[in-house]
Amino acid sequence: MSKSRLFSKCLGLLVTLVACGGFVVHGQTTIFNVPSTDVQATQKTYFEADFVGHLTSLENGGFQTFGGRLLYGARKRLEVGVNVFYTRAAGAPQSVELQPNAKWQVYQNEEKGIAVATGGVLFLSTPHRKSDTLGLIYVTASKKVKATHGPRLTGGTYRLVGLNAGAGTQGGGILGYEQPVNRKLTFLADWYSGKNRIGYASAGFGVTLSPKNVVYFGYSFGNAGRGNNALAIFYGRNF
């Protein structure tokens, strides 16, 4: 079997695995986990299959999250979408979580490499329980360095609306860094501050397989301790 055919079969297996079933931090057009200032192009659709796992047994605190994200460019500078996630973990049965979301690119100046965006994600468990409803709102700004393989820096702030008392930090900062290595490979790193369900630092790589296909892989480190650390693999396709 040729290397290209073997790679295609492995990629197909990956897509099959991760499309079966979410990770709570993955919102819209992102760097790795945190929202970027990018939005989906008008009338274009993006689908992503996600797998996130803390690779120990469920009895010892391991978990596996399976999910998918669908984004659509509703109009210029506005994207809307929905995520569906399911997590396997020990203890009580886990619910499926729906995450409707939207993002508006408030400002963009390509010549200066500056952009600003704001958006939100609503977290809804099914079967629905009022206590599980949670909202995320944020603002991010980015600066692209004009140079060969110049990086892009992102910063911002977020707030969790409806967070139960004692469930963690209500808000904090957002940081992101994107470093092109070549035209197909990009190093990615981002961070939500705070100790809550989205409080993670992540690092990894994005690999452009073709103009329509991309794979992201990396590792997320929980702000609240090693028990939240997880391997992450995402496969995305533009339509």
Q: Domains of the chain, with CATH numbers?
A: 3-238 (2.40.160.40)
Lowest mean pLDDT among 89-93, 110-114, 188-192: 89-93
On whether the CB atoms of residues 188 and 205 are closer than 8 A, the answer is yes
Structure confidence at residue 20 as a pLDDT band (50, 70, 90): very low
CA distance 30 to 46: 12
**Which pLDDT value is given to residue 225?**
81
**Which pLDDT value is given to residue 22?**
33
CA distance 230 to 239: 29
pTM: 0.84
pLDDT at 2 over 60: no
Helix and strand tally (H, E) in the chain? Answer: 1, 12
pLDDT at 172 over 90: yes
pLDDT at 31 over 50: yes
Q: Average pLDDT in the 77-105 region?
A: 91
Gap between the terminal Cα atoms of the chain: 30
Number of residues assigned to the chain = 239
- What Rg value do the Cα atoms of the chain yield, rounded? 18
**Which pLDDT value is given to residue 59?**
86
pLDDT tens digits, residue range 46-86?
Answer: 999 999 999 888 888 889 999 999 999 999 999 999 999 99
CA distance 216 to 214: 7
On whether the CB atoms of residues 239 and 46 are closer than 8 A, the answer is yes
Average pLDDT, the chain: 86
DSSP 14: H
CA distance 217 to 233: 4
**Which amino acid is located at 235 in the chain?**
Y
